[in-house]
Amino acid sequence: MKTIFVAGEHCDYEAKSWAENTFKVPILNHWWQTETGHAITATCQSLGHSLNPPKHCTGMPFPGYNVKVLREDGSKASAHELGRIAVKLPLPPGTMSTLYKAPERFKDIYFSKFPGYYDTMDAGYIDEYGYVYVTARDDDIINVAGHRLSTSALEDVVLSHPDIVDTAVVGVPEPTKGDIPLCLYVMRTDTTKNEEQINQELINKVRQLIG
């Protein structure tokens, strides 16, 4: 076995790390939706894609998909800027064409927020090389002092700590910043570090990897 191609939702850090350590081969993540019928982004060897893509990406856009990341006002986000993932129309063959007996609802759900685009309703970003990173459903994004943060991305950083076995990050209302992230985690029972040490290490990790 040379590689494993993961199907379904984007693979979180914990599952990807487990698979890499267990099978000792690259884990190739990809992303698609029921509505699209096939992959939106993927790593395709026949298209010349590297079999060692960046760790958390879901690959590059599949032929036929013009993937963009948009801000709330519909303008295009910069590289590494978190926003709403959308696909510029037209969509390729194989994607859904309507909802059963609800054509107007179909238009309203998927095409009204960003005219000229299919709204995936997923959040993420694109790096300077064109790799796509899907971080969460858009309703899992919290707004901290005007900065949009993905709770899923924060959880991935926390789970990368060797002494953490599980975590959940939620937004908590705060009068001056709107929301602040609250991290709940479970430590390994055999850790030699105390909670204060781990807290500081997690703060440093988040600052280094997310900002």
pLDDT at 7: 72
Token reading at 2: 């040379």
pLDDT at 165: 92
pLDDT at 195: 93
pTM above 0.85, yes or no: no
All domains of the chain in start order, with CATH:
4-138 (2.30.38.10), 140-209 (3.30.300.30)
pLDDT at 138: 57
pLDDT along the chain (211 residues), means of 10: 78 79 90 91 90 88 97 95 95 94 94 96 94 77 77 86 91 86 93 94 90 70
pLDDT at 81: 92
